[in-house]
Amino acid sequence: MILVTGGTGLVGSHLLYELTRRGHKVKALLRPGKKPYETRKLFNCFSAAKEHLIDQVEWVEGDVLDPFSLQQAMQDVDYVYHCAAIISFNPRELKAMIAVNVDGTANVVNACLANGIKKLCHVSSIASLGQSEKGEMIDENAKWKTSRINSGYAISKYGGEREVWRGIEEGLNAVIVNPSVIIGAGCHRKATNRLFHNIENFLPYYISGINGYVDVRDVVNALILLMESSVKGERFVLNSENLSLREFFTKVADILGKPHPRIALNGRLMNVIAWIDEMRGRLTKSAPLLTRENVRASMSKSYYSAEKFKTAFNYSFIPMTESLTEAFRVLEGMKK
């Protein structure tokens, strides 16, 4: 039996689909009061059998912040995929991110140790590896450096990864993946979905940052390959392409048949706009659309290498144009 945390998120929902498609028995942790409506929509876009595969998932009520519920969920479980996390660049959500991404991961690790889980696959992030300082390629050997430019999200993912390494030291069989920006149709009105929405309504602006991107299907394939392998106590960067934001936005615009972004935004101006939006968010008690952490992350120029994973598994990542095209196709299907 397999347990997946974060089964209603982008990676978790795609992972559940692939595991059930392959005939695995799967449990998925579901927070109290939450329903997997969007996950069901995603399954229906992929599965000719419509309801068949999603009905193979055993949803168990629980929360990574509730150690008792994790103990209960791991009954009769052999393998755990830990995908649950909060992704945010809003400083007001730092406390919640630390709780879920660090303390929640510690709870998962402890429950795995207590229940004799055979293997844990932990979904971390390239954020935990830091950023390029002089344009150097970042890989699994990168060392975390404390810096004021580290986002709260990066700090939380680094802290969560430390908990997994602690579990490994205590005898847990575990592996870690560090995906770059994950592209795929999912359950959230942000990330890829929000990007498509902005460019679909013609967003002519871009920022001069560079980042890595990877297809959600590649992340899922990597998780399963690592889980089914003898590899343990290691981490792997997952990245298809390093692209400037202008290159990335241009690919999206081409898919949507929209004009290419042509106006470069100045970092200083963006920080002013972000500050104003943060103030608006505080006054209206709503989430800001843009934060200074967003701007710093977008302006950074970082390059990532997935050579370790590609060599270990003779693996080829999906090109980003293909990833974006498929993501848009599925998103259109989910609207129906």
The answer to the question of residue 265 being in a domain is no
Question: Which parts of the chain are beta strand (E)?
Answer: 2-5, 26-30, 57-61, 79-82, 119-123, 137-138, 174-179, 181-183, 205-206, 210-215, 235-238, 241-244, 263-264, 303-304
> What's the sign of the alpha-carbon dihedral 160, 165, 171, 174?
positive
The answer to the question of residue 54 being in a domain is yes
* Amino acid letter, residue 22: R
The answer to the question of residue 206 being in a domain is no
* CA atoms of 23 and 335, how far apart (whole Å): 28
Q: Which among 10, 275, 296, 270 is positioned nearest to 152, based on CA atoms?
A: 296
Helix (H) or strand (E) holding 325: helix 320-334
Report long-range pairs for 278-282 (Cβ below 8 Å, ≥24 apart).
278/91, 281/90, 281/92, 282/92
Domain that holds residue 136: 2-199+212-240+304-324
The answer to the question of residue 317 being in a domain is yes
Q: What would the DSSP string read from start to end of 67-88?
A: HHHHHHHTTT--EEEE------
The answer to the question of residue 255 being in a domain is no
Residues 88-130 have pLDDT tens digits of: 877 778 899 999 999 999 999 999 999 999 999 999 999 899 8
Which DSSP symbol is given to 126?
A: G
The answer to the question of residue 318 being in a domain is yes
Residues 42-99 have pLDDT tens digits of: 887 776 555 588 888 899 999 999 999 999 999 999 999 999 998 887 777 889 999 9
Residues 138-173 have pLDDT tens digits of: 999 988 887 777 788 899 999 999 999 999 999 999
Q: Which among 236, 218, 214, 225 is positioned nearest to 140, based on CA atoms?
A: 236
Reading the block at residue 226, the tokens are: 């690592």
Residues 188-226 have pLDDT tens digits of: 455 555 666 656 655 676 677 888 999 999 999 999 999
The answer to the question of residue 287 being in a domain is no
Q: Total structural domains in the chain?
A: 1
The answer to the question of residue 262 being in a domain is no
CATH code for the domain in which residue 191 is found: 3.40.50.720
Residues 222-278 have pLDDT tens digits of: 999 999 999 999 999 999 999 988 888 888 888 888 888 777 776 676 667 666 766
Reading the block at residue 177, the tokens are: 């993946």
* CA atoms of 165 and 160, how far apart (whole Å): 9
* CA atoms of 71 and 3, how far apart (whole Å): 11
